[in-house]
Amino acid sequence: MNKLLAALIAAAFATAGAYAADAKKEEKKADAPAAAASGAKAEKKEAKKAEAAPAASAAKK
């Protein structure tokens, strides 16, 4: 009986660990497109700043 109980407890921990690992993988997959999109937005902002800087210095002259 003790061996059966130990086996059930071990299986429960293994199942919980596998479920947690899958949840982390899914979370990373969901975060990857969001991170890529935010990176693209940052690049666009930097490009706009780079374009605006020469125009602003030309306007000052």
Give the pLDDT confidence score for residue 6 in this predicted structure: 96
Give the pLDDT confidence score for residue 56 in this predicted structure: 53
Query: Using alpha carbons only, how large is the chain's radius of gyration in Å?
Result: 26
The pLDDT-based confidence of 55 (bands split at 50, 70, 90) is low
pLDDT tens for 14-37 read: 999 888 888 777 777 777 666 565
Give the pLDDT confidence score for residue 9 in this predicted structure: 96
State both tokens at 32.
Answer: 């990857």
In the block, residue with structure tokens 């003790």: 2
